Amino acid sequence: MQYNLSCEQVTALLTFYVEDKLSAKLSNYVKEHLDKCPECREKFYQLQSILQRFNEIQNEEIENPYVTKQYEDFKSNLSAYVDNELDDLENIKIKKIAISNPLARQDLENIYTFKKLLHSSFEKTKNELKTDYSKSIVCQLQNECSDEKKLDPFIKITAIFFAMITCIVAGIISILYF
């Protein structure tokens, strides 16, 4: 049996096709279309090369020369170091790695930035609680927080979006299988 997919349908299925995630039947329909349609074939080649490049980048990261056994040890000790839980010798080791390894240095900077953000948001919450404690409790109990009202339209839009996606997917499936 043969089924002719439209270019729109093929475009919608193309990423799944490239990643080999379609059923054999669907995959064949796409292949048949690609054999006949130069426009879609061009899209297919582009997508394939993007994906290839993406995989290459991932492999390059794995082969990064700074990802050493020493660096792995550094990472497992990092939060203990920041929390002052290590002894002097281990502290010196961590500092040495941070100086010699740019990846480690970046990790250390990131964790300090993260802690700073965490601390400042904690301070902010603490101050808000001090000044507005009873009000925020009442607000939570009565479900009248302004934040929740702001959230409402966002949930609606998300629901509409998912409904649309479901309709499109259901449409494609019904065209192909019935």
- Give residues in contact with Zn ion (CB under 5 A): 7, 37, 40
Q: Closer CB to Zn ion, residue 13 or residue 97?
A: 13
Sign of the dihedral through C-alpha 43, 46, 49, 50: negative
Of the pair 41, 93, the CB lying nearest Zn ion is at 41
* Least distance CB 45 / Zn ion (angstroms): 13
Helix, strand, or coil here: 106?
Answer: helix
Give the largest CA-CA distance in the chain: 74
Q: Minimum distance between the CB of residue 41 and Zn ion, rounded to whole angstroms?
A: 8
Which among 162, 20, 170, 25 is positioned nearest to 5, based on CA atoms?
25
**Nearer to Zn ion by C-beta: 13 or 40?**
40
Amino acid making up residue 117: L
The least distance separating Zn ion from the CB of residue 40, rounded to whole angstroms, comes to 3
- Residue pair 11/43 in contact by the 8 Å Cβ criterion: yes
Shortest Cβ 37–Zn ion spacing (Å): 3
Q: Say if CB 30 and CB 5 are below 8 A apart.
A: yes
Sequence letter at residue 113: T
Q: Which is nearer to Zn ion, 10 or 98 (CB)?
A: 10
